[in-house]
Amino acid sequence: MMRIDIDKVLRERVPRQYRFIPRWLINRLADMICQDRLNELLERNASLVGADFAEAVVKDLSVSYDMRGYHPDPSRRRVILVSNHPLGGLDGLVLATVAKEIYGGGAVSARFVVNDLLDFVEPLRPIFLGVNKHGSQSRGKVSDIDRAFSGDDPIVMFPAGLVSRMDSNGKVADLQWRKMSVVKAISSQRDIIPIHFSGENSQFFYKFARLRTQLGLRFNIEMVRLPKEVFLSEGAHFTLTFGKPISWQSLRGGKDALSQAAELRSIVYELPSQK
């Protein structure tokens, strides 16, 4: 059974520096990532993987949701679902649960394109397609991604590649969307279904992220806070608003792929105001 042990991670990943890390700091890091509560969740749901695991965690946290707008056709599975990324963790678990509800398929009802740093989350590996954001992709991972897009399962993407951020006016929204969703939709001949996911993290998370940016620190250290943000959303209710499918034939691709991704982003943020 998987267990999270920050002490072990540091000991194995940075063995030379480990002996200089004070015990109080290791304990503080364990507290920041809610290590004990995460391990309780993992233990309770140790027999589950993929969407089944995600669904169980959503239930454990007493999280509820409703779906509005377009109702996806469950028989048309070869689609790409694109969503904003306001929470950075729980939104993915809810979307995995929703995909299972819409498309069926059990534990692997849809695949998720994610940062390959999330590979350590063993119960979700069956539905994850890891993308290396900080270097070149291994040939094996490229093959896995290509196979998934060539297959028949729905694929979920967060085109921003990062959790939403707060701007100087206090508005929370995704940063620039990357072009991968457009490029892959065209190459795999999959229509795109836009989704708006309601919800926000704590003010502390966004202010901390802004401070890190202002200090010129490149590493997203605020991500350490995300497990705690999951538990802060315990008992929350979220609204998912679906838009009508966008046919892959209507996408321009090529040098226009990035601007088309920006248009998709705008469509997603307009969904809640549409009747």
Return averaged pLDDT per consecutive 10 residues of the chain, 275 residues in all: 82 88 91 90 92 96 98 96 96 97 91 84 91 60 86 97 90 96 97 98 92 84 88 97 98 94 98 88
pLDDT, position 264:
98
The token pair that represents 245 in the structure block: 């499918």
pLDDT, position 24:
93
Does residue 57 form part of some domain? yes
Nearest Cα to Cα of residue 148 among 181, 188, 200: 188
Does residue 9 form part of some domain? no
Does residue 114 form part of some domain? yes
Handedness of CA 14, 15, 20, 21 (dihedral sign): positive
Q: Within the chain, what is the greatest distance between any pair of CA atoms?
A: 59
Does residue 241 form part of some domain? yes
Nearest Cα to Cα of residue 187 among 110, 257, 127: 257
Q: Report the alpha-carbon distance of residue 170 to residue 207 in Å, rounded.
A: 10
pLDDT, position 197:
99
pLDDT, position 60:
96
Q: Report the alpha-carbon distance of residue 118 to residue 130 in Å, rounded.
A: 7
Q: Report the alpha-carbon distance of residue 166 to residue 180 in Å, rounded.
A: 24
Does residue 41 form part of some domain? no
Does residue 17 form part of some domain? no
pLDDT, position 137:
55
pLDDT, position 234:
96
Q: Report the alpha-carbon distance of residue 260 to residue 141 in Å, rounded.
A: 26
What's the domain count of the chain?
1
| Domain residue limits at 179 | 49-273
pLDDT, position 134:
53
Q: CATH number for the domain including 239?
A: 3.40.1130.10
Does residue 152 form part of some domain? yes
Does residue 32 form part of some domain? no
Between β-strands 172-173 and 155-157, what pairing exists: parallel, antiparallel or unpaired?
Answer: unpaired
